[in-house]
Chain A
């Protein structure tokens, strides 16, 4: 079974631009979560989508948004990029996701490394 795939793997943008990152979950997984990883802030939770609905959300500004399609693939969008948005963006998929107490095992992709100049 193929793992979680993320595209593109590397991206360079300039301040003020917007960017869309894509994540394809493991086949059969309905939950996709997104995380930002930086040297200074570590791993931070952005949001989780399950069956096309955002179910959990971290403390990020509205410039960070996402969506999930009927085939469970997910996209994350960052508008009006800032230098501080430079980071590794990771997505993770799981069968049932992060609802309630049942924090199911998440399988992470390799990430998209975004550099904002």
Chain B
């Protein structure tokens, strides 16, 4: 059974780069890894998605090593509005079940 784990919480000062890692074993070899952001009382919101190596968009970067047993979300120069819970999402290999990570609560400090 696939399992995805993340650090429970992280604190960072404004303007710093934040890296959040998700460990995922037994994920589908041909499926993407996706990261979502969730604010209180709202549904998750898509941040970035990748399959391997590095992907960058206007808000974040995603690093996925060759073995795909982990992925790292990188948020450059965080601001107070980035305070939220961040989740990774991956699909279990050989199955049609998806797994969210345990979630990382990021607190950005002024």
- Please list the residues of chain A having a beta carbon within 8 angstroms of any beta carbon in chain B: 4, 35, 42-45, 48, 55-59, 90, 92, 98, 100-103, 105-111
Give 12 CB contacts A-B under 8 Å: A42-B101, A42-B102, A57-B96, A57-B97, A98-B96, A98-B98, A101-B51, A103-B32, A103-B49, A106-B44, A108-B44, A109-B43
Tell me whether chain B's interface is mostly helix, strand or loop, or mixed: loop
Structural contact, A45 and B100, CB atoms closer than 8 A = yes
Interface residues on B, range: 20 to 34
Using a CB–CB cutoff of 8 Å, the interface residues on chain B facing chain A are 28, 30-32, 34, 41-46, 49, 51, 87, 89, 91, 96-103
B43/A101 in contact, CB under 8 A: no
A94 to B98: give the CA distance in the assembly, Å. 15
Closest chain A residue, CB of each to CB of B47: A105
User: What is the total of A-B residue contacts with beta carbons within 8 Å?
Assistant: 63
Given known A-B contacts A42-B103, A56-B97, A57-B97, A108 and B43 have beta carbons under 8 A apart = yes
- Whether the pair A108, B45 counts as a contact (CB closer than 8 A) is yes
Q: For residue B101, give the distance in angstroms from its CB to the closest CB of chain A.
A: 8
- In angstroms, Cα B88 to Cα A42, docked, is 12
**Chain B residues positioned under 8 Å from A35 (CB to CB):** 100
Report the separation of the CA atoms of residues A92 and B45 in the bound assembly, to the nearest whole angstrom. Answer: 10
Which listed residue (A4, A58, A90) contacts B97, Cβ 8 A?
A: A58
